[in-house]
Structure 1
């Protein structure tokens, strides 16, 4: 015996065995460290993704800034005459100044150095009014003291030499109206206020004369296509009111005319037909004792910005009511301070504006976001003039001493705020506040709509309908496969179902969009019949099967009943779609879609949430099924055998013992399937109308966060608000998945702890 033990000890201590033990220990240590490194790598990768998303998103919420770059005074030659208006070009290099003597001075925007000047043809008249600046309009329209008007167009061209080197910006002045002064008031009265608007027939000019009476002239312009000459003619337009007004603005295509009275009441005229201008309604803009100090158009000339003596700026635009009538409606009010608003300058490319009050306090606002980007006291007193650069990157102010102050503005994302991203916003042209996503348009005057709410809603809607279909089928299938199905059948069925997960989602989306959507539209009664006939048919078959003699039922071994169910399911599905057309003729007058739309008022789109539910549910079923089936099959057989031995039926054992024990795994399967449904892109992209609407209707489409990122990321400009908001959508998806998975893990741990004693 001692010889055997000594031999065994020698064998165990042999170099071969020692080397094998060392190699095994090395493999164990290597595997342990490799698994740890892999786990930490996943954590680091997820953390880096999170911080990268935050890096791209944080500039959206960065505060705007304004800093003084320089200050200067004009040369003596330019100080002799009062400056009436000034404006800049988009390179921020040149400022144009118009003096009361009719001289147009071009100076350097940084130091005021004179560049050039041009005398406008005033003849013997004086400038009595200058058209209020309109975003995007380079026309300088002047009303003269003799009842006439002249106009010049200003352009700025970047010059290059022969080597392609940039030389600078060259201003150019072009006289409009064929270089002539147009008679606006036949009586020759001074034009105290002047406005103009393009017309389908030419250009409509309007002015205030005398004590505030309105005069209008239509300049008809026709181009000779042979000679290229423009023929012009003047037609006097009769304005129906003799009320005294202080300000006058005309909407695009002269659809509406807004005339402001001394008492702060605004008359809105329908001026589409210049032969029959009618007063639509009158609106009170300010409370008694207050006055309107400024009234300008915002970008696109759809909104009125009204500044008052209380430091408020209010936005108005036309809204259609329930009677299909247009009314000028107060939309929102922004406040700068308590002093009167002296200057309002609308941005030329965004829905923002600059307001300066009588104390020199400057505010930069955005109406869409209802956001105050900047509120700073920049001057010591009342400003005389101000000019905002076309790109809203520079602000030039002339203070009460005649000194020009130049400020650099950094405000890249003014249209983003918590309200514009998640709340209801009242956009121009809409009848009420809405959740809307519309990131781009063909027009530069477009108001971006960046509400993530319809995208988040669409994501949850698609996931809900997909889970509504997939969870019952997958879990019930897992229960049957793991607990009732014969092992020989299980080894064949389970791999086939799991193989479905390898099918590319782009194939499923292609199939759903090109075949499933039109098929379901043409067989709507059959689709709903399947949901009723199939379960009733299976239950009926089970009841009838239980009534058969035992000798006949025992011919089919336990766990092989699925062989009988497969042809039954195929037959019931065929029967449902065969009865689709007769049911449609019998119950829905031959057209169920028309019945839904006209009789029930439910809108129907061919590619809708129901199609997504079927297609995406098919994609999610293998994931939920596989994990749930493994969890159910992994329940120790001793538990189920003990329950059966104590007299419980198989169903009682499944419900009371197996399901509670496997509940952590089943819950994990559902959560993983939900994560798959939330993040799905191609199926939703191809199987829905991809419209970002807020509607739970199963017959309408949606747009999800993931699909929106896939569609628009390639079209967004690098660093733009649109680009960063798409990253914000990705961050929302990331956080949603992280929170759901974290909560799911906590619930799973509690379930595991609760049922671990079984």
Structure 2
């Protein structure tokens, strides 16, 4: 009976048993499942959004950058043949004003015709005040965009003419009125006293000074005129001086005078040019311009420093004066361009850039840029049977061509001719430079400026700043991380690590401000002490460690295990105080009282107050927390069992550290270095305020630098939206982003390899 009762009681459901399938628990599991799904989708979508954002950044930067590398485009309009053109004389010169509405045509008959560019209708016809019975024999132009020209007459005289365009707005409509003026009077200037025709003529106006040169056969004539205005009466007086220049033995075929009125170029013999120094009034040299064919045309580039010389083989050479090894200026071929293998008949320089157009005898048009060494377009535009005469508008967006008794308008789209891979990354021989160089100089005060947009010195400065910052930060941060994670007592670690990580919260603008205003002048005035500090600090720590190891055991046992680093604080302070206090004495003993002058004068090492040493100290201080924090976590995360097992097998603490702990933590240590490197590469404010912002390529630690990030920060607010400068800055940002992306990708691959290699430890 008792057993049956017990069995009956066991068969009844127990009221103390847990039920995991209650409605509340089922509801809780459903909620947890929903949360898990939401978190999974949220994290997935967030990760994909980050990848999409990075991809969009790349695409956006590429979309801004790509137009720089596209060539030029042209669109030709139908030819027009105005009625007045049939009775006009043979053309000498065409010109178009700023708004592309009014054009000017100079004929051999001495008549200047102004007409509408679109329709060809006559606007005004003006006769030049030529002496009776004289004819226009030759003409010359001043620098591109000046609207000044000179006419050589058949009686040995010359007339300087300037055409201008007055813009008014009657009834709120723009009206352009052409005008002629005579800067040096309407009376022609006598050059050849014998009255012979001026077969060739050239001139240059620099302020109120005029240099005029002409040739009659082999004889060269030159005058220098300067106009002076009386401030009281307003009268203008002209002083004239005849220049006695060396005479040449061969007939002169064309003459050019550079805008600075220093050089006169006399072309003759189809292949040669004589260069005459106008200041010394002597021959500089005779130069051969081409070895294939003959010189067919020559024109100065914007600014007049470069000569563009075309020959019968379709080659265009850029020449300018360069000083040789002895300091003597000589005319040198810098770069060459090829059109289509036919004789070049006209070279048309742009009025605001270092680009030019060329026309050949076969009717081909070529669009080039000198500095970028870039051929943007080669395309036929006219009939080869007739020689074309063209002119380019001031904005370089319209080419007006007269060919076969009719005009043709050609629209030009060429927004970024000055950009090429060679100009961005290679050495470029700029005007007035003695050799090719890497130069960044995006703006200047003069209008004939040659943009220098090389990214090489900026990329070099970025790597230079990162190198010196990592040279200081990497050893200190990694060694500190190893000691803190492996040797330091836990109590002390809990105090030291947050303090070092707190350094990361310091704004970089404060560090840059401190480095630029205090650290840079302090380093300059205490150079021996700074170098002594960098050298003596590790030696002092090693000496202190050696002395501590030789101290009595009773003394060493009084210091708790892991607290030995506290003894190094007074050692570091003492070494620092000693090094800096001895700076003046060291400077007097070894460097003649001034180490900076000793470096510059005796060693030939340039010194700039804001230099890479200051950047290394300041940016290294900013990078240390990043490297330390990640590396310390990686080392501290190594399982304690590995260390204890190594010690149990007889390894010393140092052997356990070097052969077990560091190898196991190497992926994390490497990641810390790469993140620190990325921080150093992308740093802006410290390098902006502490380096002097000088874009030079020099590994000298005492020279300044400019980084890609700092350059974008400085110049982006001042750049014109859509300009070449603006797009090059975006290219700099793209280069920086690509560099960081590639570096992080390689770092991840190396980290994964290290993790797989040492995972079995």
TM-score with structure 1 length normalisation?
Answer: 0.96
Change (3 A) 1:81 1:482: same
Aligned residue among 459, 478, 483 for 2:481: 478
Instruction: Give the match for residue 285 of structure 2.
Output: 281
Equivalent residue for 2:335?
Answer: 332
- Are 2:597 and 1:589 aligned? no
User: Does structure 2 retain, via aligned residues, the 8 Å contact 1:158–1:166?
Assistant: no
> Shift in Å at residue 31 of structure 1?
2.1
Which residue in 2 is equivalent to 1:236?
242
Query: Is structure 2 residue 715 aligned with structure 1 residue 712?
Result: yes
Q: CA deviation at 1:201?
A: 6.4
TM-fit CA distance, 1:220: 2.9
Alignment of 1:600-679 (within 5 A): 600-679=603-682
1:16: Cα distance to partner? 2.7
The 8 Å contact of residues 382 and 388 in structure 2, kept in 1 or not, is answered as no
Structure 2 contact 142–205 (Cα < 8 Å) conserved: no
CA contact (8 A) 2:88 2:107 kept: no
Q: Distance in 1 between matches of 2:223 and 2:577?
A: 74
Kindly report which structure 2 residues correspond to 1:479-498, keeping only aligned pairs within 5 A, or say none.
Answer: 479-498=482-501
In structure 2, which of residues 305, 329, 333 is the aligned counterpart of residue 302 of structure 1? 305
3-state DSSP of counterpart to 1:300 = coil
- 2:729: which partner in 1? 726
Please report how far the alpha carbon of residue 442 of structure 1 lies from its aligned counterpart in structure 2 after TM superposition. Answer: 0.4
Measured after TM superposition, the shift of residue 263 of structure 1 is 4.3
Alpha carbons 2:469, 2:619 under 8 Å: kept: yes
Counterpart CA distance in 1 for 2:166 and 2:433 is 38
- In structure 2, how many angstroms separate the alpha carbons of the residues matched to 1:87 and 1:380? 21
Q: Which residue of 2 aligns with 1:172?
A: 179
Aligned residue in 1 for 2:41:
33
| Offset at residue 2 of structure 1 (A) | 7.8
Q: Is the 8 A contact 1:132 1:296 kept in 2?
A: no
Q: 2:266 aligns with which of 259, 262, 268?
A: 259
Report if the CA contact (8 A) 1:319-1:429 is conserved: yes
Residue 123 of structure 1: SS of its match in structure 2? Answer: coil
1:398 to 402, 409, 423: 402
Q: CA deviation at 1:7?
A: 4.3
Task: State how far apart, in whole Å, the 2-side matches of 1:613 and 1:633 are.
Answer: 28
Q: What is the DSSP-based 3-state SS (H/G/I as helix, E as strand, rest coil) of the residue aligned with 1:13?
A: coil
1:378 aligns with 2:384: no
Note if contact 2:638-2:665 (Cα within 8 Å) is conserved in structure 1: yes
> For residues 728 and 5 of structure 1, do their structure 2 counterparts lie closer, same or farther at Cα, with a shift above 3 Å needed?
farther
One of 685, 689, 692 as aligned partner of 1:689: 692
CA contact (8 A) 1:158 1:169 kept: yes
**Aligned with 2:77: secondary structure?**
strand
What displacement does 1:658 show?
A: 0.6
Equivalence for 1:225 = 231
What SS does the corresponding residue of 1:293 show, helix, strand or coil?
Answer: strand
Q: Is the 8 A contact 2:85 2:405 kept in 1?
A: no
| Alignment partner, residue 562 of structure 1 | 565
User: Within 2, Cα distance between the matches of 1:559 and 1:120?
Assistant: 99
User: Is 1:599 paired with 2:606?
Assistant: no
1:402-455: CA deviations, max 9, x gaps?
A: 222211111110011010000000000000000000000001100000000000
How far did residue 246 of structure 1 move?
A: 1.2
- In the TM superposition, residue 133 of structure 1 has moved relative to its aligned partner by 5.6
Conserved 8 A contact 2:84-2:122: no
Instruction: Single out whichever of 561-570 and 16-25 deviates more from structure 2.
Output: 16-25
Q: 2:161 aligns with which of 136, 152, 167?
A: 152
Structure 1 gap segments, 5+ residues each: none
2:461 to 458, 461, 476: 458
1:447 aligns with 2:454: no
Aligned mates of 1:563, 1:242 — CA distance in 2: 87
Give the Å deviation of 1:26.
Answer: 2.6
Partners of 1:498 and 1:396 in 2: how far apart? 68
Q: Distance in 1 between matches of 2:562 and 2:731?
A: 51
User: How many Å separate the matches in 2 of 1:152 and 1:132?
Assistant: 10
User: CA shift at 1:19, angstroms?
Assistant: 2.7
2:136 counterpart of 1:127: yes
The separation in 2 between residues aligned to 1:293 and 1:263, in whole angstroms, is: 7
Q: 2:204 aligns with which of 179, 197, 203?
A: 197
Within the candidate set 526, 531, 547, 2:529 is matched to 526
**Separation in 1, partners of 2:183, 2:607:** 54
Output the CA distance in 2 between the equivalents of 1:731 and 1:436.
20
Indicate whether 1:575 and 2:578 are aligned: yes
Taking structure 2 as the reference length, the TM-score comes to 0.96
Provide the rounded CA distance (Å) in 2 between the counterparts of 1:347 and 1:15.
85
- 5+ residue gaps, structure 2: 1-9
- The corresponding residue for 2:4 is none
Partner SS state of residue 57, structure 1: helix
Partner of 2:71: 63
Superposed displacement of residue 646, structure 1: 1.0
Question: Match of 1:252, SS?
Answer: coil
Instruction: Please give the alpha-carbon distance, in whole angstroms, between the structure 2 residues aligned to 1:236 and 1:600.
Output: 51
Which residue number corresponds to residue 137 of structure 1? 146
Q: CA deviation at 1:199?
A: 5.2
In structure 1, the partner of 2:391 is: 387
Matches within 5 A, 1:65-84: 65-76=73-84, 78-84=86-92
Which of 201, 219, 222 matches 1:216? 222
* Conserved? CA contact 1:70–1:407, under 8 Å: no
Root-mean-square deviation (Å) = 1.6
Quote the Cα distance in structure 1 between the aligned partners of 2:193 and 2:146: 27
Which deviations, in whole Å up to 9, do the C-alpha atoms of 1:265-300 show, x marking residues without a partner? 211111115xxx11111111122x721111111100
Q: Deviations over 1:60-98 (max 9, x none)?
A: 111211110231113146534222211111211111011
What is the CA-CA distance between 1:138 and the residue it aligns to?
Answer: 0.7
Question: Is the Cα contact below 8 Å between 1:150 and 1:176 reproduced in 2?
Answer: no
Q: Deviations over 1:574-599 (max 9, x none)?
A: 11111111111111111111111111
Q: CA shift at 1:514, angstroms? A: 0.7
Shift of residue 242, structure 1, vs aligned partner: 4.1
- What is the alpha-carbon distance in structure 2 between the residues aligned to residue 376 and residue 200 of structure 1? 39
Q: Which residue of 2 aligns with 1:271?
A: 278
Quick one: distance in 2 between partners of 1:223 and 1:461? 55
Q: 1:117 aligned to 2:120?
A: no
Partner of 2:100: 92
Which SS does the other structure have where 1:631 is aligned?
Answer: helix
Return the alpha-carbon distance in structure 1 between the equivalents of residues 572 and 742 of structure 2: 39
2:548 & 2:12 partners in 1: Cα distance? 70
Find the residue that maps to 1:334 and give its secondary structure.
strand
Name the residue aligned to 1:104: 112
How far apart are 1:478 and its partner, in Å? 0.3
